Amino acid sequence: MADRIGHVFARPELLAQALTHRSAGAPHNERLEFLGDALVNLFVAEALYRHWPKADEGALTRGRAELVRESALAPIARALELGERLTLGPGEMKTGGHRRDSILADALEAVVAAIYLDADFHTCRSVVMPWFAAAMEALPPPNKVGKDAKTRLQEWLQGRQKPLPVYELVAEGGEDHAKTFRVTCTLSQPPLLSEGEGSSRRSAEQAAAEAALAALAGS
């Protein structure tokens, strides 16, 4: 576990608590999660301040929100294999709690706090920030961050006085609890057809717009 996280705990009970969900009883990780959330926000804010030296407060705020949201923290937790090491109550175990984004993100923040309490601020920051390096490099430019794919595509077309895209639902399937949607995004100028899939029509439209943006960037 230490080789995944990058820190050897002098007090392993802190790590054990960080990986204990409240459904498993006390001591659980909610207090550590509270502290870890503040630490992650500070580390990421400082890193973005250096990464984007000319970005204004609004862009920095949106960039931080992108990096610390639940759906961004959960993949980091999976890469660190935290899910396999969580201590969960019987109910959460039955419903696959170790795979749930919210539980994984909370556990990651709790682990950050555990490292801080086990060591110190500088050690914690040096361990944690490499986890965010790839996501930070993948951020769009400061003036684009926080805008969804449909908005960015619309702005790209409007900026060139081109017609807006047309989205069309072309397929829908799956059980009620696990539906999938496939949507096309059609541009007339330049002529382009892209597709996207998602668990809702909206997410499928976003995926189709993202595919269109990627095609435009490569053209």
Tell whether residue 106 is among the known ligand binding residues.
yes
Angle at 27 between CA 23 and CA 32, to 5 degrees: 95
Tell whether residue 101 is among the known ligand binding residues.
no
d(CA 69, CA 61): 12
Tell whether residue 56 is among the known ligand binding residues.
no
SS3 181: strand
Query: Which of the residues are catalytic?
Result: 37, 109
Instruction: Report the relative pairing of strands 180-187 and 192-198 from DSSP bridges.
Output: antiparallel
SS3 64: helix
Count Cα atoms within 13 angstroms, Cβ side, for 37.
13
Q: Quick one: CA torsion of 156, 143, 51, 211, rounded to 10 degrees?
A: -30
Peptide bond into 141 cis (omega under 30): no
Neighbours of 98 (CB within 10 A): 20
Structure tokens belonging to residue 152: 């960015």
Structure tokens belonging to residue 129: 């920030």
Structure tokens belonging to residue 5: 């996280």
Binding-site residues, in ranges, read 33, 106, 109
Binding-site residues for Mg(2+), in ranges, read 33, 106, 109
